């Protein structure tokens, strides 16, 4: 049994996974919104303990625990730097060591998008393929690249699919650059765009009704269902931008498959995967053999399952 | 001694290369503009014979001959399909077998952009690096990808850098798609754009004076030197588009280096490599560690030298 933790800006997802990749127990805790890295680590320990209880084991009995983290992850050093979606985490924090002390078993870190991509590659929708692009559509849009059966991380910063350019004279991205795909498709950017048209949309009303602090994937889905014109338009633009960036990536890499996951991707599901595929196709140069496009299979637990795979490596 | 032939839409460049990658003899013949694949093959044989003579050897004494070809290359079958810049070459032609019969030595084929990238990687500006992107700025804009020391070709169609999207609502590319980088930066597309403003530019006057059938790289360079406003504007837009697409590629792959070659790239040289770098930087996400950007070192003979490297593989 191995533990896996997916550390997100909103939630911490923990899972205990057996040797066949099956989830024996899991738990979800909200990510602390104040304090600092030590408080986040404490919440991760609590989530893992709960997942272990659900699986009928002690954390100390696990072979190890893997963690998928946002920010700049130094896997060798076991540290995470400037995880800006997490409270007080501008600097460098020794996350692996801290968790190792708490669990009493080895802890391995990697980038959250890489572990989620690897989970889909090894156990999910990517299993039939040797090369793929993972697309994680959430607050931002992360990308994972697998080539010839191995993750490609470049010098550590590869996979920034969300910052591929779709309009070089277009909107400013939350990252500060111009025309990134994420400027149109990241849920964060989409919320900022919706905010500028607050009078024309029910998005924020739905948010308040459902007692959400922001426009969550569920809020977007409800607004789409209700035919909200601003939500429809902004999601259309997001789909188009993702299709364009994925098309560009496919032209450069000619991968066999594209896997769509992430909070918003999973929430909107198959019909939107189909729409992203339709938005991609007109840009694919080798159009006699476009890649397969699939919804991520492991769902919300993909990140935690992928993190658990770090333990055996 | 190995032979290498770079088959282009305008010229056939042949070289005899020694074991250290040094050129012992070379020759350049114009590519036939009428006839069919057999005529092109005959011109390739003549060019190789001349290069061999210059090197003081017979073609039959070579270890083999490598060929970099446009179109869809089937390296296994030794055939080239739909090389649309070449006369009457819509179908499939057994190029390797035809040349092998003429030379009496083994002939190997690969894609022209791949061999040019490999030449720069093994012997040129890419030597210090393990991962790079080759950018060949000519009639179209080709791309070659080397990752972890090996060419990445995907399922055979990778490296279509020129068809990465820079403006998803932009110009129509000669390939028929919308907003490809090549729609702004390919010399073919640039000529079509200049043609629409023929009254405002001296480009076509320079072309006629120099007795050229089209706007060659030399014509563009002269027009830039003369301060021609249309040439300046179109080249500015080309540089911007290349910078954007390269930035997107770097965000996806985080390569160590970018090598700029191709007819127009080589003709315009270092100052424009610098400008492409400046156009790329604002889009690079990991901006604390952008890739090195270099001019291709092997110049016009890079394609033929790279083709000769096919022989040893």
- Over residues B205-250, the pLDDT tens digits come to 999 999 999 999 999 999 999 999 999 999 999 999 999 999 999 9
Question: Across residues B264-271, what is the average pLDDT?
Answer: 98
Q: Indicate if A146 and A239 belong to the same structural domain.
A: yes
Same domain, B267 and B307: no
Distance from C-alpha of A280 to C-alpha of A287, rounded to nearest angstrom: 10
Q: Which of A179, A241, A251, A292 is the best residue to mutate to test the B interface, defined by the most B CB atoms within 10 Å of its own CB?
A: A251
Position B313 scores a pLDDT of 53
Q: How many domains does chain A have?
A: 2
Of the candidates A154, A164, A286, the beta carbon closest to that of B131 is on A154
Same domain, B49 and B138: no
pLDDT above 70 coverage of chain B, percent: 100
CB contact under 8 A, B158 and A253: yes
Q: Are A8 and A40 in contact (CB under 8 A)?
A: no
Q: Which of B161, B180, B254 sits opposite A154 (nearest CB)?
A: B254
In a domain? residue B122: no
Cβ-Cβ contacts under 8 Å between A and B: the total is 137
* pLDDT for B226: 98
- Examine residue A122 and state whether it is found in any structural domain, yes or no: no
Of B152, B256, B282, the CB nearest to A147: B152
Q: CA nearest A48: which of A313, A310, A307, A312?
A: A307
Identify the band that residue A313 occupies on the pLDDT scale cut at 50, 70 and 90.
Answer: low
- Does the structure show a pLDDT above 70 at B282? yes
Tell me, what CATH number does A222's domain have? 3.30.420.40
Do A282 and A175 belong together in one domain? yes
Looking at chain A, which residue has its C-alpha nearest residue B175?
Answer: A285
Cross-chain residue pair B163–A289, CB shorter than 8 Å? no
Residue A223 and residue A146 share a domain: yes
B154 shares a domain with B83:
no
3-class state of residue A143 by DSSP: strand
In tens, the pLDDT along A140-186 reads 999 999 999 999 999 999 999 999 999 999 999 999 999 999 999 99
- B165 touching chain A per CB within 8 A: yes
Q: Cα(B228)–Cα(B223) distance, rounded to whole angstroms?
A: 5
Q: Average of pLDDT values for B290-301?
A: 96
Mark whether A101 and A174 lie in a shared domain: no
Selected for mutation to probe chain A from B146, B168, B181 (highest A CB count within 10 Å) is B168
Picking from B116, B155, B154, the residue whose alpha carbon sits closest to that of residue B134 is B116
For A5-31, the pLDDT digits (tens) are 999 988 999 999 999 889 999 999 999
**Which residues, other chains included, contact B209 with Cβ-Cβ below 8 Å and sequence gap of 6+?**
none
pLDDT by residue (tens digit) across A99-147? 999 999 999 999 999 999 999 999 999 999 999 999 999 999 999 999 9
What's the pLDDT score for residue B201?
A: 98
Residue A212 lies in a domain: yes
Both B32 and B175 in one domain: the answer is no
| Residue B166 contacts A, CB cutoff 8 Å | yes
Which ipTM did the prediction report? 0.95
Mean residue pLDDT across chain B: 96
- For residues A169 and A106, membership in a common domain is answered with no
Q: Report the pLDDT averaged over residues A43-53.
A: 98
Contact with chain A for residue B217, Cβ under 8 A = no
Same-domain pairing of A73 and A106: yes
Name the band, by pLDDT with cuts 50, 70 and 90, for residue A196.
very high
In a shared domain, residues B244 and B143? yes
Q: What is the mean predicted confidence (pLDDT) over B14-20?
A: 95
Q: What does DSSP say about strands B65-69 and B2-7: parallel, antiparallel, or unpaired?
A: parallel
The pair phi, psi for residue B270, each rounded to 5°, is: -50, -45
DSSP conformation letters of A178-247: BSBTHHHHSHHHHHHHHHTTGGG-SHHHHHHHTT-SS--HHHHHHHHHTT-HHHHHHHHHHHHHHHHHHH
Integer Cα distance of A112 and A106 in angstroms = 18
Chain A residues in contact with B129 by the CB 8 A cut-off are none
pTM of this structure? 0.95
Is residue A48 predicted with pLDDT exceeding 90?
yes
| Residues of the domain holding B180 | 128-297
> Are B251 and A163 in contact (CB < 8 Å)?
yes
Strand ranges, E, within chain A: 2-7, 11-17, 23-30, 65-69, 72-74, 79-81, 92-93, 107-111, 132-137, 141-147, 150-151, 257-261, 292-295
pLDDT tens track for B101-142: 999 999 999 999 999 999 999 999 999 999 999 999 999 999
Q: Are residues A38 and A161 in the same domain?
A: no
CB contact under 8 A, B156 and A254: yes
**Spatial distance between the Cα atoms of A285 and B229, rounded to a whole number of angstroms:** 33
Residue A141 is assigned to a structural domain of this protein: yes
CB contact under 8 A, A252 and B252: yes
Nearest to A165 by CA among A247, A94, A104: A247
Flag whether A43 is in a domain: yes
């Amino acid at each position: 049994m191995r533990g896996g933790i997916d550390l997100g800006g909103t939630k911490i997802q923990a899972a205990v996974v057996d040797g066949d990749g099956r989830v024996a127990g899991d738990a979800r805790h909200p990510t602390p919104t104040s304090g600092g890295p030590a408080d986040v680590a404490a919440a991760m320990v609590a989530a893992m303990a709960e997942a272990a209880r659900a699986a009928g084991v002690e954390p100390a009995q696990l072979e190890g625990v893997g963690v998928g983290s946002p920010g700049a992850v130094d896997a060798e050093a076991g540290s995470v730097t400037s995880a800006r979606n997490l409270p007080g985490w501008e600097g460098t924090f020794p996350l692996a060591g801290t968790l190792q002390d708490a669990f009493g078993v080895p802890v391995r870190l990697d980038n959250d998008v890489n572990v989620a991509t690897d989970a889909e590659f090894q156990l999910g929708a990517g299993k039939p393929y040797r090369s793929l692009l993972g697309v994680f559509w959430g607050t931002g849009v992360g990308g994972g690249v697998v080539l010839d059966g191995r993750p490609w991380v470049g010098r550590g910063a590869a996979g920034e699919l969300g910052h591929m350019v779709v309009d070089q004279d277009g909107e400013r991205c939350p990252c500060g650059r111009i025309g990134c795909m994420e400027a149109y498709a990241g849920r964060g950017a989409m919320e900022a765009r919706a905010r500028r048209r607050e009078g024309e949309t029910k998005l924020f009303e739905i948010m308040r009704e459902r007692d959400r602090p922001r426009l969550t994937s569920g809020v977007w889905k409800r607004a789409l269902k209700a035919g909200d014109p601003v939500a429809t338009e902004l999601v259309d633009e997001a789909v188009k931008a993702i299709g364009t960036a994925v098309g560009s990536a496919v032209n450069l890499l000619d991968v066999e498959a594209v896997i769509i996951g992430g909070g918003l991707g999973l929430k909107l599901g198959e019909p939107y995967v189909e729409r992203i595929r339709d938005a991609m196709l007109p840009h694919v140069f080798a159009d006699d053999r476009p890649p397969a496009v699939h919804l991520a299979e492991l769902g919300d637990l993909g990140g935690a399952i992928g993190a658990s795979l770090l333990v055996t490596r």
